[in-house]
Structure 1
Amino acid sequence: PGDGVFLKVSLARGVRRFSIKGKLSPCFIGPFEILDRVGEVSYRLALPPQLSHVHNVFQVSLLRGYKYHPLHVISYPLDQIRADLSYVEEPEAILDRQDRVMRNKTIPFVKILWRNHPELEAIWETEESIQTSYPHFLP
Protein backbone atom coordinates (compact mmCIF):
# COMPACT_ATOMS: atom_id res chain seq x y z
CA PRO A 1 0.00 0.00 0.00
CA GLY A 2 1.20 3.46 -0.91
CA ASP A 3 3.63 2.18 -3.56
CA GLY A 4 3.24 3.09 -7.22
CA VAL A 5 2.77 0.76 -10.19
CA PHE A 6 2.27 0.99 -13.94
CA LEU A 7 -0.67 -0.87 -15.50
CA LYS A 8 -0.25 -2.90 -18.70
CA VAL A 9 -2.46 -1.96 -21.67
CA SER A 10 -2.61 -3.46 -25.15
CA LEU A 11 -3.55 -2.44 -28.66
CA ALA A 12 -7.06 -3.64 -29.55
CA ARG A 13 -6.88 -6.85 -31.59
CA GLY A 14 -7.72 -6.69 -35.27
CA VAL A 15 -7.26 -2.93 -35.55
CA ARG A 16 -3.78 -2.88 -37.08
CA ARG A 17 -3.12 -5.64 -39.60
CA PHE A 18 -0.04 -4.82 -41.60
CA SER A 19 2.76 -3.67 -39.33
CA ILE A 20 3.71 -3.81 -35.69
CA LYS A 21 3.96 -0.70 -33.57
CA GLY A 22 7.41 0.53 -32.56
CA LYS A 23 9.16 -0.36 -29.34
CA LEU A 24 8.43 3.08 -27.93
CA SER A 25 4.64 2.79 -28.03
CA PRO A 26 3.07 2.88 -24.57
CA CYS A 27 2.54 -0.59 -23.13
CA PHE A 28 1.94 0.68 -19.60
CA ILE A 29 -0.02 3.60 -18.17
CA GLY A 30 0.24 5.21 -14.79
CA PRO A 31 1.72 5.40 -12.24
CA PHE A 32 -1.13 4.48 -9.92
CA GLU A 33 -1.10 4.11 -6.15
CA ILE A 34 -1.64 0.67 -4.61
CA LEU A 35 -4.51 0.87 -2.11
CA ASP A 36 -4.38 -2.67 -0.74
CA ARG A 37 -3.61 -6.29 -1.51
CA VAL A 38 -6.52 -8.51 -2.57
CA GLY A 39 -5.71 -12.20 -2.27
CA GLU A 40 -2.31 -13.70 -3.02
CA VAL A 41 -1.55 -12.16 -6.42
CA SER A 42 -3.89 -9.17 -6.87
CA TYR A 43 -3.88 -5.51 -5.88
CA ARG A 44 -6.50 -2.76 -5.73
CA LEU A 45 -5.35 0.48 -7.39
CA ALA A 46 -6.43 4.10 -7.04
CA LEU A 47 -7.58 4.86 -10.59
CA PRO A 48 -8.41 8.35 -11.92
CA PRO A 49 -12.03 9.25 -12.86
CA GLN A 50 -11.24 8.73 -16.58
CA LEU A 51 -10.80 5.01 -15.83
CA SER A 52 -13.96 4.62 -13.71
CA HIS A 53 -15.28 2.07 -16.27
CA VAL A 54 -12.32 -0.24 -15.51
CA HIS A 55 -12.41 -2.60 -12.52
CA ASN A 56 -9.71 -1.50 -10.05
CA VAL A 57 -8.32 -4.92 -8.98
CA PHE A 58 -5.47 -6.32 -11.08
CA GLN A 59 -3.28 -9.42 -11.04
CA VAL A 60 0.45 -8.80 -10.61
CA SER A 61 1.14 -9.97 -14.19
CA LEU A 62 -0.50 -6.70 -15.39
CA LEU A 63 1.55 -4.48 -13.06
CA ARG A 64 5.10 -3.11 -13.10
CA GLY A 65 6.74 -1.42 -10.12
CA TYR A 66 7.38 2.32 -10.08
CA LYS A 67 9.66 4.34 -7.81
CA TYR A 68 8.47 7.92 -7.45
CA HIS A 69 10.71 10.69 -8.79
CA PRO A 70 9.63 14.36 -8.56
CA LEU A 71 10.89 15.17 -12.08
CA HIS A 72 8.79 12.49 -13.80
CA VAL A 73 5.88 13.93 -15.77
CA ILE A 74 3.76 11.21 -17.30
CA SER A 75 0.54 11.85 -19.20
CA TYR A 76 -1.60 9.47 -21.26
CA PRO A 77 -4.97 9.85 -22.97
CA LEU A 78 -6.76 7.80 -20.29
CA ASP A 79 -10.19 8.46 -21.79
CA GLN A 80 -9.28 6.20 -24.74
CA ILE A 81 -8.60 3.12 -22.59
CA ARG A 82 -11.36 0.49 -22.85
CA ALA A 83 -12.73 -1.64 -20.01
CA ASP A 84 -10.59 -4.58 -21.20
CA LEU A 85 -7.46 -2.35 -20.96
CA SER A 86 -7.06 -2.06 -24.72
CA TYR A 87 -7.01 1.04 -26.90
CA VAL A 88 -7.53 1.84 -30.58
CA GLU A 89 -4.88 3.65 -32.59
CA GLU A 90 -6.12 6.42 -34.89
CA PRO A 91 -4.11 7.97 -37.72
CA GLU A 92 -3.53 11.70 -37.39
CA ALA A 93 -1.64 12.73 -40.53
CA ILE A 94 0.11 11.48 -43.65
CA LEU A 95 3.72 12.65 -43.52
CA ASP A 96 4.96 11.20 -46.81
CA ARG A 97 4.03 8.96 -49.75
CA GLN A 98 6.22 6.51 -51.61
CA ASP A 99 5.84 3.82 -54.27
CA ARG A 100 7.91 0.67 -53.74
CA VAL A 101 8.52 -2.05 -56.29
CA MET A 102 8.13 -5.55 -54.86
CA ARG A 103 8.27 -8.58 -57.15
CA ASN A 104 7.68 -6.48 -60.27
CA LYS A 105 4.62 -4.86 -58.70
CA THR A 106 4.40 -1.22 -57.56
CA ILE A 107 2.84 -0.83 -54.12
CA PRO A 108 1.92 2.61 -52.75
CA PHE A 109 3.00 3.30 -49.15
CA VAL A 110 2.13 6.18 -46.82
CA LYS A 111 4.05 7.31 -43.74
CA ILE A 112 1.44 7.67 -40.97
CA LEU A 113 1.68 9.77 -37.83
CA TRP A 114 -0.46 8.13 -35.15
CA ARG A 115 -2.46 10.17 -32.63
CA ASN A 116 -0.74 10.63 -29.25
CA HIS A 117 2.66 9.57 -30.66
CA PRO A 118 5.65 11.75 -31.60
CA GLU A 119 6.73 12.16 -35.22
CA LEU A 120 9.72 9.88 -34.53
CA GLU A 121 7.30 6.95 -34.22
CA ALA A 122 5.60 7.52 -37.59
CA ILE A 123 5.64 4.30 -39.62
CA TRP A 124 5.20 3.23 -43.23
CA GLU A 125 1.96 1.38 -44.03
CA THR A 126 0.54 0.18 -47.31
CA GLU A 127 -2.06 2.56 -48.65
CA GLU A 128 -4.38 -0.43 -49.04
CA SER A 129 -4.15 -1.40 -45.35
CA ILE A 130 -4.91 2.17 -44.24
CA GLN A 131 -7.82 2.37 -46.71
CA THR A 132 -9.20 -0.92 -45.36
CA SER A 133 -8.81 -0.08 -41.66
CA TYR A 134 -9.61 3.64 -41.84
CA PRO A 135 -11.71 4.29 -45.00
CA HIS A 136 -12.55 7.85 -43.90
CA PHE A 137 -8.89 8.86 -43.59
CA LEU A 138 -7.46 8.65 -47.12
CA PRO A 139 -8.86 10.90 -49.88
Structure 2
Amino acid sequence: MRFGRKEKLAPRYIGAYGIVERIGTLAYRLDLPQSLSAIHDVFHVSILRKYEPDPSHVLSTEDVELDSSLSYVEQPVQIFESQREATQEQEDYLVLVQWSRHGIEETTWELEARMRQEWPHLFENMMNNSMYSDFPMYYQW
Protein backbone atom coordinates (compact mmCIF):
# COMPACT_ATOMS: atom_id res chain seq x y z
CA MET A 1 0.00 0.00 0.00
CA ARG A 2 1.46 3.37 -1.01
CA PHE A 3 1.25 5.67 1.94
CA GLY A 4 2.48 8.75 3.72
CA ARG A 5 4.97 11.50 3.11
CA LYS A 6 6.50 12.32 -0.24
CA GLU A 7 10.02 12.89 1.12
CA LYS A 8 13.00 11.50 -0.73
CA LEU A 9 13.93 8.68 1.67
CA ALA A 10 10.50 7.99 3.15
CA PRO A 11 9.22 4.42 2.76
CA ARG A 12 7.11 4.09 -0.38
CA TYR A 13 4.95 1.24 0.89
CA ILE A 14 4.03 -0.03 4.33
CA GLY A 15 2.87 -3.37 5.62
CA ALA A 16 1.46 -6.51 4.13
CA TYR A 17 -2.25 -6.36 4.88
CA GLY A 18 -4.90 -8.86 3.97
CA ILE A 19 -7.78 -8.05 1.64
CA VAL A 20 -11.14 -8.17 3.42
CA GLU A 21 -13.36 -7.53 0.38
CA ARG A 22 -13.43 -6.16 -3.12
CA ILE A 23 -15.34 -2.88 -3.50
CA GLY A 24 -16.44 -2.41 -7.11
CA THR A 25 -13.91 -3.22 -9.83
CA LEU A 26 -10.93 -1.08 -8.72
CA ALA A 27 -11.01 -0.78 -4.92
CA TYR A 28 -10.29 -3.09 -1.99
CA ARG A 29 -10.99 -2.97 1.73
CA LEU A 30 -7.88 -3.96 3.71
CA ASP A 31 -7.52 -5.50 7.15
CA LEU A 32 -5.54 -2.68 8.82
CA PRO A 33 -4.13 -2.92 12.38
CA GLN A 34 -5.60 -0.88 15.22
CA SER A 35 -2.66 1.54 15.04
CA LEU A 36 -3.95 2.67 11.60
CA SER A 37 -7.58 2.98 12.66
CA ALA A 38 -7.63 6.70 11.75
CA ILE A 39 -7.05 5.81 8.08
CA HIS A 40 -9.90 4.87 5.77
CA ASP A 41 -9.56 1.17 4.95
CA VAL A 42 -10.63 1.23 1.26
CA PHE A 43 -7.87 1.75 -1.33
CA HIS A 44 -7.69 2.06 -5.12
CA VAL A 45 -5.68 -0.66 -6.88
CA SER A 46 -3.21 1.91 -8.25
CA ILE A 47 -1.71 2.44 -4.79
CA LEU A 48 -1.57 -1.25 -3.84
CA ARG A 49 1.19 -3.73 -4.61
CA LYS A 50 1.18 -7.50 -4.38
CA TYR A 51 3.35 -8.76 -1.54
CA GLU A 52 6.08 -11.13 -2.69
CA PRO A 53 7.04 -13.46 0.19
CA ASP A 54 10.71 -13.26 1.15
CA PRO A 55 12.36 -15.63 3.70
CA SER A 56 14.45 -12.73 5.05
CA HIS A 57 11.21 -11.09 6.27
CA VAL A 58 10.55 -13.96 8.68
CA LEU A 59 11.70 -13.17 12.20
CA SER A 60 13.23 -15.97 14.21
CA THR A 61 12.17 -16.37 17.81
CA GLU A 62 14.34 -17.80 20.52
CA ASP A 63 13.00 -20.29 23.02
CA VAL A 64 12.34 -18.58 26.32
CA GLU A 65 12.17 -20.59 29.52
CA LEU A 66 9.37 -19.26 31.72
CA ASP A 67 9.04 -19.88 35.43
CA SER A 68 5.80 -20.75 37.22
CA SER A 69 4.72 -17.08 37.25
CA LEU A 70 5.12 -16.97 33.43
CA SER A 71 8.08 -14.57 33.57
CA TYR A 72 11.79 -14.85 32.82
CA VAL A 73 14.96 -13.18 34.01
CA GLU A 74 17.33 -11.47 31.64
CA GLN A 75 20.94 -12.44 32.24
CA PRO A 76 23.88 -10.13 31.52
CA VAL A 77 26.24 -11.54 28.91
CA GLN A 78 29.09 -9.05 28.74
CA ILE A 79 30.28 -5.70 30.06
CA PHE A 80 31.68 -3.39 27.40
CA GLU A 81 32.83 -0.26 29.23
CA SER A 82 32.46 1.84 32.34
CA GLN A 83 32.05 5.48 33.15
CA ARG A 84 31.89 7.66 36.21
CA GLU A 85 28.76 9.68 36.87
CA ALA A 86 29.12 12.32 39.55
CA THR A 87 26.34 14.35 41.12
CA GLN A 88 26.54 16.80 44.00
CA GLU A 89 25.41 14.14 46.46
CA GLN A 90 27.46 11.13 45.33
CA GLU A 91 29.67 9.54 42.74
CA ASP A 92 28.45 6.44 40.91
CA TYR A 93 30.12 4.14 38.44
CA LEU A 94 28.12 2.78 35.54
CA VAL A 95 28.83 -0.19 33.29
CA LEU A 96 27.54 -0.79 29.76
CA VAL A 97 25.90 -4.23 29.77
CA GLN A 98 24.75 -6.52 26.96
CA TRP A 99 21.82 -8.72 28.01
CA SER A 100 20.80 -12.18 26.88
CA ARG A 101 18.33 -12.30 23.98
CA HIS A 102 19.38 -8.76 22.96
CA GLY A 103 21.89 -7.49 20.45
CA ILE A 104 24.74 -5.07 20.99
CA GLU A 105 22.53 -2.17 19.90
CA GLU A 106 20.33 -2.78 22.97
CA THR A 107 23.00 -2.47 25.67
CA THR A 108 22.08 -0.52 28.81
CA TRP A 109 23.96 1.48 31.44
CA GLU A 110 23.64 -0.10 34.90
CA LEU A 111 25.06 0.71 38.33
CA GLU A 112 28.34 -1.12 38.77
CA ALA A 113 27.72 -1.83 42.48
CA ARG A 114 24.44 -3.63 41.72
CA MET A 115 25.98 -5.60 38.87
CA ARG A 116 28.93 -6.66 41.08
CA GLN A 117 26.52 -7.80 43.77
CA GLU A 118 24.16 -9.76 41.51
CA TRP A 119 26.60 -11.06 38.87
CA PRO A 120 30.18 -11.03 40.26
CA HIS A 121 31.38 -13.53 37.63
CA LEU A 122 31.25 -10.78 34.99
CA PHE A 123 34.07 -8.94 36.78
CA GLU A 124 36.41 -11.90 37.53
CA ASN A 125 38.60 -11.79 34.41
CA MET A 126 38.08 -8.13 33.64
CA MET A 127 41.50 -6.91 34.79
CA ASN A 128 43.24 -9.26 32.33
CA ASN A 129 41.51 -7.51 29.46
CA SER A 130 43.28 -4.31 28.31
CA MET A 131 39.88 -2.87 27.43
CA TYR A 132 39.19 -2.50 31.16
CA SER A 133 42.52 -1.05 32.29
CA ASP A 134 40.80 2.15 33.45
CA PHE A 135 37.91 0.30 35.04
CA PRO A 136 37.23 1.54 38.61
CA MET A 137 37.94 -1.05 41.30
CA TYR A 138 37.38 1.05 44.43
CA TYR A 139 34.67 -0.83 46.25
CA GLN A 140 35.09 -2.24 49.75
CA TRP A 141 32.71 -4.99 50.71
Same structural fold, with TM-score higher than 0.5 when normalized by the shorter chain? no
The TM-score range, normalised by the shorter chain, is: 0.3 to 0.5
The TM-score normalised by the length of structure 1 is 0.44
Alignment TM-score, normalising by the size of structure 2? 0.43
Pick the structure with more strand per residue.
Answer: 1
Give the structure with the higher percent helix: 2
Q: Which has the larger radius of gyration?
A: 2
